[in-house]
Chain A
């Protein structure tokens, strides 16, 4: 029983990471109806940036802030420079561009920073907080940061004019343009936000999985699964989906064995989707004939 509680709690901690990346995927999905396969590699690259800054002597939270801001700028730049020219191409052509971005980030990171595994510091103290037996303080801290990011995003989209404009641009681009919203820039902002969220997720996960160019591969897959499980058009659902996937993965890993845990977790997710094809909280699409 004790072990099960432990597994579920640390599952929630990794689930928080999946939830952040899932949220980043949803950000781009809502605006473009595409899943950005390069999201994980962009986060990995940003984490390397933080690592390089810390090597240069910048304190943790300074490096954290600089990284988040530069990830935002990088995200905007990618949308403006790389994605915009293929905006009106067939969907699969855009997907291939995403995959190409994945290759480029992965390869360039390996080239600049080498493929050797690097330790990444955690900003939280080494001993467990509040004397609890179940969670390390890094797990607790990263969960807290995930929740803070969520709250900030919720406030941004719900209560600021810019957030409202971004939601409008995603929902109905043509009408938004008519009322004077610059839809193209809203898209770019969405990319920037997604990249910034990804960067935070990357810095939170790096202390546990260690820093290397392929560190986000599995995480992206779980985040994708979480986003679809919760419903990819609902940010809250995607976050919940991320948490569910985290717990599922951890419990399956502990009780069935690690070698098939990825497979089993995916089988469970796909079976849920077969029963509920729009995810647990997604809108059911009704098409007008």
Chain B
């Protein structure tokens, strides 16, 4: 890898982080809230992308892990009186275990069969959350209302802005960790399993372990995103974690770009804002507009926004006569 290019990339990331820090001071509180959700989605999308994009295991049920994370955080705050910031790592840990355990039987399943198994998980989750035996904790159909955390007095910023920075800090932490994981030995093993499972095994990759661990880490990311989202929305209910959320997440990953880290942000912006745009275009059939936009994206950029950007950059570089940077 060319160090000069790497330095330019680093500079770009630093500028983006600066812009993200400045953003909440220039937009209305409601927009800040929306951007907080975008950040939370981007974590979930990175998690799902590890599984689907890098490791090649499809999941139509990641909404379920988001639900587990959100409910863990909500129950801990509501019943155990824990502060909001302490619940996030616990939500992540619970989801890691849940994802790892689900990943074990999923080892036997591939492609469509895995899609069905995860789909079943996604469909079952709202029903399980509504079940009477755990109603004492989950609040049944009613869900749980969460108190919005106050910003510390010394910062002098609004609650929405504080939550935005809180989420942004998690985004930075998890993206740096994820980037490190994916470019290292484990990341290469994940990609090797996706492309050539038999060859990977022959090279000494513990396929079963890496696959279930990927499931666990992916669930951890999605669970943390669910917890952060729940704190921002101040409410959890079974029906907000239906199969629709799972499908939206998968669409976000594909739109953003499979096996791309920056794609998570493009995908998150898409799933947060395109439904609103569609609603403004046509009040009568907003989801038809959403569907048309989805198809249009897949026609124009079948490898997602990140793939499209990569293509554009490669073209620009070639036109300038410089060798194509890889």
Chain A positions within 8 Å of B, measured between CB atoms, are 35, 82, 85-86, 89-90, 92-97, 99-104, 106-108, 110-111, 221, 224-225, 228, 232, 259-260, 262-263, 266-267, 269-270, 273-274, 277, 287, 289
Contacts and interface: CB of A to CB of B under 8 A. Distances in A.
A196 B35 CA distance: 45
B295 A82 contact: yes
Given A266-B123, A273-B109, A107 B287 contact: yes
Contact of A92 (B124, B128, B258, B292): B258
Contacts of B299: 85-86
A269 B286 CA distance: 35
B211 to A, nearest CB: 14
28 contacts: A89-B298, A89-B302, A92-B253, A93-B298, A94-B298, A96-B251, A96-B298, A99-B247, A99-B251, A103-B288, A110-B285, A111-B285, A111-B288, A224-B116, A225-B120, A259-B127, A259-B131, A260-B127, A262-B127, A263-B120, A266-B123, A266-B124, A270-B117, A273-B108, A273-B113, A273-B117, A274-B105, A274-B108
Contacts, number: 119
Interface residues of B, number: 41
A35 B123 CA distance: 18
A263 B287 contact: no
Given A108-B285, A111-B288, A232-B112, A97 B124 contact: no
A93 B302 contact: yes
B291 A107 contact: yes
A221 B119 CA distance: 9
A101 B291 contact: yes
A93 B105 CA distance: 27
A36 to B, nearest CB: 12
Find the residue from B115, B116, B292 having the highest chain A CB count within 10 A.
Answer: B116
Contacts of B247: 99
B254 interface: yes
Given A97-B294, A260-B131, A86 B302 contact: yes
B290 interface: yes
A224 B290 CA distance: 25
B130 interface: yes
Given A93-B254, A259-B130, A270-B120, A277 B285 contact: no
A103 B289 CA distance: 9
The 4 A-B pairs with the shortest beta carbon distances in the complex, nearest first, are A266-B120, A107-B287, A103-B291, A104-B291
A221 to B, nearest CB: 6
B284 interface: yes
A104 to B, nearest CB: 4
A263 B124 contact: yes
Given A85-B299, A259-B127, A228 B113 contact: yes
B52 interface: yes
A267 B123 CA distance: 11
Given A96-B255, A273-B116, A277-B109, 5 more contacts: A35-B112, A92-B52, A103-B291, A108-B285, A228-B112
Interface in B99-125: 105, 108-110, 112-113, 115-117, 119-120, 123-124
Interface in B153-170: none
A101 B251 CA distance: 13
A84 to B, nearest CB: 11
A99 B109 CA distance: 22
B311 interface: no
Contacts of A97: 294-295, 298
B20 interface: no
A82 B291 CA distance: 12
B291 A90 contact: no
A202 to B, nearest CB: 19
Given A221-B119, A266-B124, A107 B109 contact: no
A262 B198 CA distance: 36
B248 to A, nearest CB: 9
A111 B284 contact: yes
Nearest to B251: A96
A266 B109 CA distance: 15
B58 interface: yes
B222 interface: no
Contacts of B286: 107
B36 interface: no
Contacts of A94: 298
Given A259-B131, A273-B117, A104 B292 contact: yes
Contacts of B108: 273-274, 277
A95 B258 CA distance: 13
Contacts of B298: 86, 89, 93-94, 96-97, 100
